[in-house]
Amino acid sequence: LSLPVTMFAYFSFGQTGSGKTYTVNGPNSSSVVDWGVNYRALNDLFSISQKRNNSYAYEVSVQMIEIYNEQVRDLLCNDNYQKRCSTSQPNGLAVPDASLHPVNSTSDVLELMNVG
């Protein structure tokens, strides 16, 4: 059974000091109760994929970019080349030159977040 590719992106924006990082990541605590939106979504994603692994094969990858002052930068690549955006994709905006990193767990994603 082949399922269509599903892409997911989220971004947060707002005034400095408004609580974006706290909402997304939560406080500096390892308690599940204190997890932010990011950790909860990742945990659910990998939990569901594990429960369904007999029926479906999931491939999850991470791409992390920063758009600042009209420049696009790959946060997981050491090159300093500006990346280009493509709006010709059927699903909206894409950054085809940005690196894509396969992950298998929430901890894999968190390691990449520490890099980026």
Beta strands 101-103 and 60-62, pairing class: antiparallel
> In this structure, which amino acid lies at residue 72?
V
The count of C-alpha atoms lying within 13 angstroms of the C-alpha of 25, restricted to the half-sphere facing its C-beta, is 12
**What's the Cα-to-Cα distance from 11 to each of 1, 15, 50, 64, 85, rounded to whole Å?**
31, 14, 26, 11, 16
Is 18 marked as a binding-site residue? Answer: yes
Is 14 marked as a binding-site residue? Answer: yes
Is 26 marked as a binding-site residue? Answer: no
Is 19 marked as a binding-site residue? Answer: yes
CB 80, CB 71: distance < 8 Å: no
3-state secondary structure of 20: helix
Is 21 marked as a binding-site residue? Answer: yes
Is 16 marked as a binding-site residue? Answer: yes
Is 71 marked as a binding-site residue? Answer: no
Annotated binding residues, as ranges?
14-21
Annotated binding residues for ATP, as ranges?
14-21
